[in-house]
Amino acid sequence: NAGVTQTPKFQVLKTGQSMTLQCAQDMNHEYMSWYRQDPGMGLRLIHYSVGAGITDQGEVPNGYNVSRSTTEDFPLRLLSAAPSQTSVYFCASRTYGGTNEKLFFGSGTQLSVL
Protein backbone atom coordinates (compact mmCIF):
# COMPACT_ATOMS: atom_id res chain seq x y z
CA ASN A 1 0.00 0.00 0.00
CA ALA A 2 1.41 3.37 -1.06
CA GLY A 3 -0.57 5.51 1.42
CA VAL A 4 0.10 9.22 0.83
CA THR A 5 2.58 9.99 -1.94
CA GLN A 6 4.18 13.40 -2.38
CA THR A 7 6.26 14.58 -5.31
CA PRO A 8 8.83 15.97 -5.71
CA LYS A 9 10.90 15.30 -2.57
CA PHE A 10 13.12 18.31 -3.15
CA GLN A 11 12.68 21.45 -5.22
CA VAL A 12 14.59 24.68 -5.70
CA LEU A 13 12.80 27.67 -7.20
CA LYS A 14 13.72 31.21 -8.04
CA THR A 15 11.60 34.05 -6.71
CA GLY A 16 8.57 34.55 -8.91
CA GLN A 17 8.51 31.07 -10.39
CA SER A 18 5.43 28.90 -10.12
CA MET A 19 5.12 25.23 -9.37
CA THR A 20 2.74 22.55 -8.19
CA LEU A 21 3.40 20.16 -5.33
CA GLN A 22 1.65 16.87 -5.96
CA CYS A 23 -0.16 14.76 -3.37
CA ALA A 24 -1.99 11.51 -4.00
CA GLN A 25 -3.55 8.97 -1.64
CA ASP A 26 -4.87 5.50 -2.37
CA MET A 27 -6.94 4.98 0.80
CA ASN A 28 -10.15 6.55 -0.51
CA HIS A 29 -9.96 9.24 2.17
CA GLU A 30 -12.38 12.13 1.90
CA TYR A 31 -10.26 14.56 3.90
CA MET A 32 -6.93 15.86 2.63
CA SER A 33 -4.79 18.74 3.81
CA TRP A 34 -1.53 20.57 3.29
CA TYR A 35 0.82 21.76 6.04
CA ARG A 36 4.06 23.65 6.06
CA GLN A 37 6.76 23.21 8.68
CA ASP A 38 9.50 25.75 9.19
CA PRO A 39 12.72 24.82 11.05
CA GLY A 40 12.08 24.17 14.74
CA MET A 41 8.39 24.89 14.36
CA GLY A 42 5.21 22.89 14.45
CA LEU A 43 3.00 22.26 11.45
CA ARG A 44 0.78 25.03 10.14
CA LEU A 45 -2.32 24.23 8.11
CA ILE A 46 -2.39 25.81 4.64
CA HIS A 47 -5.52 24.43 2.95
CA TYR A 48 -7.76 21.43 3.40
CA SER A 49 -10.50 19.58 1.57
CA VAL A 50 -13.35 17.37 2.80
CA GLY A 51 -14.12 15.93 -0.60
CA ALA A 52 -13.86 16.40 -4.36
CA GLY A 53 -14.83 19.93 -5.31
CA ILE A 54 -14.67 21.22 -1.71
CA THR A 55 -11.71 23.17 -0.36
CA ASP A 56 -11.17 25.70 2.40
CA GLN A 57 -8.42 27.80 3.92
CA GLY A 58 -6.34 26.91 6.91
CA GLU A 59 -4.10 29.09 9.09
CA VAL A 60 -1.67 30.30 6.42
CA PRO A 61 -3.35 30.19 2.97
CA ASN A 62 -1.85 33.30 1.37
CA GLY A 63 0.31 32.57 -1.66
CA TYR A 64 -1.10 29.08 -2.17
CA ASN A 65 -3.94 27.69 -4.27
CA VAL A 66 -5.56 24.27 -4.17
CA SER A 67 -8.21 22.34 -6.04
CA ARG A 68 -9.70 18.89 -5.57
CA SER A 69 -11.02 17.37 -8.77
CA THR A 70 -10.72 13.74 -7.61
CA THR A 71 -10.78 11.93 -4.27
CA GLU A 72 -7.20 10.75 -4.78
CA ASP A 73 -5.37 13.98 -5.66
CA PHE A 74 -4.89 17.29 -3.86
CA PRO A 75 -2.22 19.46 -5.55
CA LEU A 76 -0.83 22.61 -3.96
CA ARG A 77 0.08 25.46 -6.28
CA LEU A 78 2.52 28.28 -5.68
CA LEU A 79 1.70 30.93 -8.27
CA SER A 80 4.66 33.25 -7.61
CA ALA A 81 7.16 31.77 -5.19
CA ALA A 82 8.70 33.95 -2.48
CA PRO A 83 11.65 33.25 -0.15
CA SER A 84 9.18 33.21 2.77
CA GLN A 85 7.72 30.04 1.27
CA THR A 86 10.93 28.13 1.84
CA SER A 87 9.76 25.28 4.04
CA VAL A 88 8.97 21.59 4.23
CA TYR A 89 5.50 20.78 2.97
CA PHE A 90 3.46 17.82 4.17
CA CYS A 91 0.28 16.43 2.72
CA ALA A 92 -2.05 14.39 4.91
CA SER A 93 -5.30 12.48 4.55
CA ARG A 94 -7.86 10.74 6.73
CA THR A 95 -11.39 9.49 6.69
CA TYR A 96 -14.04 12.07 7.49
CA GLY A 97 -17.01 11.72 9.76
CA GLY A 98 -16.14 8.47 11.49
CA THR A 99 -14.55 7.54 14.77
CA ASN A 100 -10.94 6.82 15.66
CA GLU A 101 -9.80 8.97 12.78
CA LYS A 102 -6.10 9.48 12.32
CA LEU A 103 -4.10 11.49 9.84
CA PHE A 104 -1.75 9.75 7.44
CA PHE A 105 1.13 11.91 6.27
CA GLY A 106 3.30 11.87 3.19
CA SER A 107 7.09 12.00 3.41
CA GLY A 108 7.23 15.70 2.63
CA THR A 109 8.58 18.07 -0.02
CA GLN A 110 11.53 20.27 0.89
CA LEU A 111 11.19 23.54 -1.01
CA SER A 112 13.80 26.26 -1.25
CA VAL A 113 13.01 29.60 -2.86
CA LEU A 114 16.04 31.69 -3.76
Partner 1 sequence: LAKTTQPISMDSYEGQEVNITCSHNNIATNDYITWYQQFPSQGPRFIIQGYKTKVTNEVASLFIPADRKSSTLSLPRVSLSDTAVYYCLVGDSGGYQKVTFGTGTKLQVIP
Residues that bind partner 1 (CB under 8 A): 4, 31, 33, 35, 41-45, 48, 50, 56, 58-59, 88, 90, 92, 96-108
Contacts of 92 (CB under 8 A, 6+ apart): 4, 32, 33, 34, 35, 103, 104, 105, 106
Q: Select 54 or 79, whichever has its Cβ closest to partner 1.
A: 54
Q: Select 6 or 85, whichever has its Cβ closest to partner 1.
A: 6
CB of 114 to partner 1, least distance (A): 21
CB of 80 to partner 1, least distance (A): 26
CB of 102 to partner 1, least distance (A): 4
Q: Which residue type, as a one-letter code, is found at position 30?
A: E
